[in-house]
Amino acid sequence: MTKEEFYEALKNLNIELTDTEKEQLENYKDFLIEYNSHTNLTAIKEEKGIYLKHFYDSLTLNPYIKEKDYILDIGTGAGFPGMVLAIVNPKSSFVLLDSNNKKTTFLNLLKEKLKLENVQIINERAEDYVRKNRETFDIVTSRAVAELRILAELSLPALKIGGFFLPLKANIENEYPLFLEAIEELKGKLINKKEFTLPIELSKRTILEVKHTEKTNEIYPRSYDKILKKTLKKRKN
C-alpha cells in the first residue's frame, strides 16, 4: 500500500488525517525503518507493508474510540495499534505496555520525536501492571500478541465496568471457544464480532467487542505460567 493508497483507504474508516497527523505518521514510518535496520522491532521493514499492515490495520480500531477515552494497549511492540491510534486521537490518552525493553526504548524515542503528549510508555509485564491498575481503562486492546483467552484474562480486570476489550487478530477459529468460556468467568459479554479483510492483500481480520459487565474476581489475572497452563471456565457457585 502506497502512502496515497493509505490516505484513500482511510475514507472507508471515516478518517481524514490532518497535515500534522500525516507528518507524524510519515516520521513514524521513517524512524521505524531506520531503527529496524539495527534493532529488530518488526518483521515488516518496507514502506508499503508499514502503511498496510501496521498503520491501516491499527486504525481499523479507530471507530470504537471516543474523545477523552483512556486506552491501554497490551503488548504494543513497536506501537501497534496504540501509537498509531494516539496520533489520530490527540484528545484521548494512551498507555502503551510492553515487557520488552528494546521496544519501549524505541517507543520513548518515538514519542519524543513526534511530540506526543497523550502517550505513556510502560515497560512491565502485563499481569503485574494490571494488578496495580484494576478497573482503570475505558478500552483495552491488543493486536496479535497471544491467544485470545490469555489476552482476555490480562485485559478485562483492567477495564472500568462498562468498558470494552477490543482484541484485533487474524485467525481466531481455534481460539474462539476457550475465549468465550474465559470472558464469561471474567465477567465480560461479547457484543459484536466484526470480520473484514485488509485492502489490497485481502487477508482476514477480526475485531471482537467485549463489554466488561461486572467486577472481575480479584484472583485474576493469575501469574502468567498459570494462565498458560490452565484455561478458564465459569466456576460453579
Per-residue pLDDT reduced to its tens digit, 32-59: 999 999 999 999 989 999 999 999 999 9
Quick one: 237 exposed, middle or buried, by C-beta within 10 A (0-12, 13-18, 19+)? Answer: exposed
Distances (CA, A) of 160 to 165, 215, 216: 10, 8, 10
Cell numbers placing 131: 494488578
* Whether residue 201 has pLDDT greater than 90: no
pLDDT digits (tens, 9 = 90+) for 63-87: 999 999 999 999 999 999 999 999 9
**Helix/strand number for the chain, H first, E second:** 10, 7
Q: Give this prediction's pTM.
A: 0.96
